[in-house]
Amino acid sequence: MLKMHGVCLSYGETSALADASLVVAEGEFVCLRGPSGSGKTTLLLLAGGMLHPTSGRVELAGHDLYGLDASARAELRATAVGFVFQTFNLVPYLDLADNLRLAGGGHRSLDRAHVIAQLERVGLGHRATHKPRALSAGERQRTALLRAMLHQPRILLADEPTGNLDPANATIVMDLLSEFHAGGGTVLLVTHGNLGADRADRVLHLEEGRLASQPSVSH
Amino acid sequence: MSTLALILREALHRRLTTGLVLLALIATVALPVAVFLSGQASKRETIRLMRDLGYNLRIIPKETDMPGFWARGYSNRVLPEDCVQRFLQRPDLSYNHLIAMLNRRIDWNGTSALVTGIATEVAPRGKQKPPMIFTVDAETLHVGHAVAVSLSLTKGQTVVLRGASFRIAAILSEKGDVDDSRVYCSLADAQRLLGMREQINEIQALECHCQDPAIDTLPKLRQELESIIPEGRVLRESDIAVTRKRQRQMANRQASVFVSIVLGAAAIWIAMLFALNVYQRRSEIGTLRALGYRSGYIGRLFLGKAALLGLFGAVLGFALGTGLMQLWGPSIFATAPGQVRTEWLLLPAALVVAPLFGMITALVPTVAAVMHDPAVTLREDG
């Protein structure tokens, strides 16, 4: 599903990611751990086609991601990738239902009734007309996660999705990720904590821009 | 979800920024509309005031003894009365407001009076405008101030002049020039009084093309006249013509400088507000990119907002500019309050220009938004 070969990203003299190679198989749940500033987010953005590597090659869903032009890369993100961020990144002036309708990069029209039904599935149906600022952090992250999954992507790239949540909400979010994984989806979860490692098929460690694998976690 | 819906929601969400951009666009439309309307009103008022200065062209018989003409104030030669009709079939002339006259100085009970018979003003085909001079009815007189004082004449009085009876229709106010010694009557009455049937000795007119003051239009006027009245010659009172030209050119320059300053300031203002808007929406831009939206879509969000606000600005600016001029116009143009008119054609023009102006001024910030590296924001947020 995702292959990174010798990917480097430098800003002048500073190396954000050094010679990273990674293979995430279709349907695999990979947890990428590392301290703050170790390059986890950079790796995730590179995997999602949001950053140009200084060198190396990234393949996503069979495409040479950076061999594609910007438009094709955007289309691939819209159809095959779901992003989840620590800060939720909901659009502040849209209510929850309309935030969900942004999913899929505008490639398909999402019916409002359909997205409200999806919100009900995660216990947020009554919040459909609320703006993000009226929601708790947990509710916002559930909405963001739902938005990332709504267009049925092949891979979810989650950047510390539980970083701003209390344990109860963090568990709900991890349950949603597990549910996506159980449905055959691929997950690359980035975290600096322990949460999520126990649900992953494999845990990788990133430190100072260098990637090292850890033994697979068996379930 | 449509792009328009997204633009509207964002505009309503960031009311302050939206309001400030809208304000600038309203000013962008309102001020030029107000300047245009005041310019038009000023032009009409200027024409009226200039008309009060009188005609600036005098057509007299070619054989006129010019030193005698300047001494007497009129030609001692004549032209046929119907020669003025020759102008009427020529729409391409530089002459307008043509009036045939017959002038002769007579003695009226010991007072030297300049009898001036005037015909009804005529205009070439397609150039008809309100007349510049009063008309004098048959068997009536309009008496100059000095003559009226000298002969103790009053309005409404019936007098006998060279055996003919006339009613004094008006005593003219003191002007301080030769007009104070004039006695105006109809051309037919003057011809009968003076025994000069179907004759005139002057046609007064207004030069209607005010061009660059560097261009001397007199040769053109003379060339045109030669083809119409070969037996005539044209004199131009250059002070009036030059004043008219300079006043119009000054008003045009003043308006263009003022509008340029306003548009320049509004453009900077809008560009800065859109730059602020791009900065405020960095996270949103990053999110939309992560969701798979393309650069063109991001660009449309900003340019679409500029265009939409431009449309609102056009309507509100037109209403404001027109309303202000209707309100203040009468005090600015105190002599002719009705001169400020609503120019409805400005509205469709504003509806095209204001959105374009908004989009052009928002272009640089929009390019910045499109070029913005979403990863920078998404990493910062993380």
Query: What's the number of CA atoms in the CB half-sphere (13 Å) around residue A78?
Result: 19
* B288 contacts in chain A (CB < 8 Å): 102, 105
- Asked if B257 has any chain A CB less than 8 Å from its own CB, the reply is no
Residue B69 has pLDDT above 80, yes or no: yes
Tens of pLDDT along B264-275? 988 898 899 889
Residue A94 has pLDDT above 80, yes or no: yes
CA distance A71 to chain B (A): 6
CA distance B370 to chain A (A): 12
What percentage of residues in chain B have a pLDDT greater than 70? 88
Contacts of B319 (CB under 8 A, 6+ apart): none
Tens of pLDDT along A165-197? 888 888 888 898 999 999 999 999 998 777 777
Structural contact between residues B266 and B27, judged by C-beta atoms closer than 8 angstroms: yes
Q: What integer pLDDT is reported at residue B336 of this predicted model?
A: 55
Q: What integer pLDDT is reported at residue B49 of this predicted model?
A: 64
Interface of B with A in 289-308 (CB under 8 A): 289-295, 297
What percentage of residues in chain A have a pLDDT greater than 70? 96
Torsion of Cα atoms, B101 then B102 then B108 then B113, to 10°: 60
Higher pLDDT, B79 or B254: B79
Residue A217 has pLDDT above 50, yes or no: no
Higher pLDDT, B92 or A171: A171
pTM for this prediction:
0.68
Higher pLDDT, B62 or A15: B62
Q: What integer pLDDT is reported at residue A195 of this predicted model?
A: 76
The amino acid that residue A156 corresponds to is: L
Q: How far apart are CA B266 and CA A205, in angstroms?
A: 54
Q: How far apart are CA B254 and CA B256, in angstroms?
A: 6
Contact flag A78-B9 (C-beta cutoff 8 Å):
no
Q: Please report the number of interchain residue pairs, chain A to chain B, with beta-carbon separation below 8 angstroms.
A: 91
Q: Of A50, A92, A103, which has the smallest distance from its Cβ to B374's Cβ?
A: A50
Contact flag B378-A89 (C-beta cutoff 8 Å):
yes
Contact flag B291-A104 (C-beta cutoff 8 Å):
yes
Tens of pLDDT along B226-255? 888 888 888 877 666 567 667 767 777 877
Q: What integer pLDDT is reported at residue B198 of this predicted model?
A: 92
Q: What integer pLDDT is reported at residue A218 of this predicted model?
A: 43
Q: What integer pLDDT is reported at residue A90 of this predicted model?
A: 92
DSSP secondary-structure letter at B3? H
Residue B47 has pLDDT above 70, yes or no: no
* A86 contacts in chain B (CB < 8 Å): 381-382
Residue B64 has pLDDT above 70, yes or no: yes
Tens of pLDDT along B181-200? 999 999 999 999 999 999 99
Structural contact between residues B26 and B314, judged by C-beta atoms closer than 8 angstroms: no
Q: What integer pLDDT is reported at residue B328 of this predicted model?
A: 81
Q: What integer pLDDT is reported at residue A219 of this predicted model?
A: 43
Contact flag A50-B290 (C-beta cutoff 8 Å):
yes
Residue A111 has pLDDT above 60, yes or no: yes
Cα four-point dihedral sign B314, B316, B322, B324: negative
3-state class (DSSP) for residue B334: coil
Residue B279 has pLDDT above 70, yes or no: yes
3-state class (DSSP) for residue A153: coil
Q: What is the ipTM of this complex?
A: 0.87
Assigned token pair, B183? 């006695």
Would you give the end-to-end CA distance of chain A in angstroms?
A: 22
Q: Which helix (DSSP H) or strand (DSSP E) does residue B34 occupy?
A: helix B15-53
* B13 contacts in chain A (CB < 8 Å): 92-93
User: Mean of the pLDDT values across residues B315-320?
Assistant: 95
What percentage of residues in chain B have a pLDDT greater than 90? 46
Q: How far apart are CA B84 and CA B200, in angstroms?
A: 10
Q: What integer pLDDT is reported at residue A34 of this predicted model?
A: 84
Q: What integer pLDDT is reported at residue A216 of this predicted model?
A: 47
Contact flag A50-B289 (C-beta cutoff 8 Å):
yes
Q: Of A48, A85, A103, which has the smallest distance from its Cβ to B382's Cβ?
A: A85
Q: Where are the beta strands (DSSP E) in chain B?
A: 57-61, 79-80, 95-108, 111-118, 140-143, 158-161, 164-171, 182-186, 199-200, 202-207, 232-236
Q: What integer pLDDT is reported at residue A15 of this predicted model?
A: 81
The amino acid that residue A48 corresponds to is: G
* B295 contacts in chain A (CB < 8 Å): 70-71, 74
